[in-house]
Chain A
Amino acid sequence: MNDMTRPGEVDPPYLYEGYRSTKLRAPSQPLVQVPAGTLDVPFARVGATFVKEGDNDLTVHGKAGTPLGERMVLTGRLLDESGRAIRNSLVEIWQANASGRYHHVGDQHDAPLDPNFHGLGRTMTDDEGRYRFMTVKPGSYPWPNHANAWRPQHIHFSLLGNAPVQRLVTQMYFPGDPLLALDPIYQSIPERARERLLCRLDLDVGIENYALGYQFDIVLAGAKSTPLGI
């Protein structure tokens, strides 16, 4: 079981009191150790035809124009723990619109849907491990975890990496968001590692008079046995 007090632990525990949905879904038995290398066997790669032109621009998927909200360029590098770029690797994101509403049938929050924003993007990293999206800043929204619970603004990320041991699903947050201190999902991360999920304002990667810029690097686990082919 993940233990927040274990030196160097990065991930949240499975059972986290403040996040109600963990109570019946967290395993109660300790995780079983498997021999080194068991989860290191590389995946088959995603092919070049998987991502289509425009998949990394979430502002052009509407039929009637551009989405509402604060436009932003979001870019960063995908690395492993030894600092090597993870190249030609799939990055998938999804997010709420600027009003805090997901384009999903299960989201009944009384905020407007935006017909010009579906909130999904995908891209492949380049030779430096870099990805780049154009999107809008997502809004905060209430959720039923506890009284008056609101999620901080966030964008979901899914990274395949090159082997099961590198698989990561996470969320990116914005620095200075006052809801971070109150959010059990963010607070479930050991304190030393929380700020790794904050993006960084960098106007130089934005577009003057058009879009703000943010940088967000993501670091996946390294292989436990042999280096993974990259």
Chain B
Amino acid sequence: MPARSPSQTVGPYYAIALPWKDGGRVTGCAGERIVLEGHVLDGAGQPVPDALIETWQAPDRDASPSTDGKPHGFGRIGADASGLYRIETAMPTGEVPYLDVIILARGLLKHLHTRVYFAEEARVRGDAAMKALASSPRLSTLIARKAAEGEYRWDVRLQGEGETVFFAA
């Protein structure tokens, strides 16, 4: 059996290759259009301008193939100079809607897996996938805050107070 390749940091220069044209605009998902925005912050509360955020959600079964080949349901966007990211998509489907999220950055020797939920805390606590966090106060770090109709805020704190929950892959 071949042995798995180890991870290495994405480094500071991933912008040469990884950000795609319109990468922050998710295709293939019908439903209420939403915008998710937030900062990625380090252990000193400082923004991480060289973070890369990827989001996954199930696309519609009957979505027509994308013309540019970009996979449906996938968002990939670099944070800007102030550490702000912005994803435009549709409200994920499912009982307790969420996006799968991967965070990459210089200084992260391996990417981080997490989720952002668009639901009230009580419903997220009842989600079977969050069983390990059912009674943890940290669960709230996975819930987006509704800022306006169709607009949600969610900050990612890599370290320290209010540290976002990350999952073991």
Question: Chain A: interface residue count, which band?
Answer: 35 or more
The answer to whether residues A31 and B167 also contact, given A122-B17, A170-B8 and a CB cut-off of 8 A, is: yes
Minimum CB–CB distance for B21 against chain A, Å: 11
Closest to A25 in B: B107
Per the bound structure, the CA–CA distance linking A183 and B18 in Å amounts to 24
Say yes or no for B110: interface residue by CB 8 A criterion. Answer: yes
| B interface: dominant SS | loop
Say yes or no for B82: interface residue by CB 8 A criterion. Answer: no
B70-93: contact bitstring with A at CB < 8 Å (1 yes, 0 no)?
111110000000000000000000
- B110 near A94 with CB under 8 A, answer no
Say yes or no for B30: interface residue by CB 8 A criterion. Answer: no
The answer to whether residues A189 and B71 also contact, given A24-B43, A28-B43, A169-B104 and a CB cut-off of 8 A, is: no
Give residues of chain A (54-80) contacting chain B, Cβ–Cβ below 8 Å.
79
| A interface: dominant SS | loop
Which of A45-53, A174-182, A201-209 touches B?
A45-53
- A79 near B2 with CB under 8 A, answer yes
Say yes or no for A229: interface residue by CB 8 A criterion. Answer: no
- B166 near A32 with CB under 8 A, answer yes
> Max chain B CB contacts within 10 Å: which of A13, A34, A120, A170?
A34
Contacts of B7 in A (CB 8 A): 10-12, 168-170
Minimum CB–CB distance for B31 against chain A, Å: 16
Say yes or no for B28: interface residue by CB 8 A criterion. Answer: yes
Minimum CB–CB distance for B92 against chain A, Å: 12
- B18 near A158 with CB under 8 A, answer yes
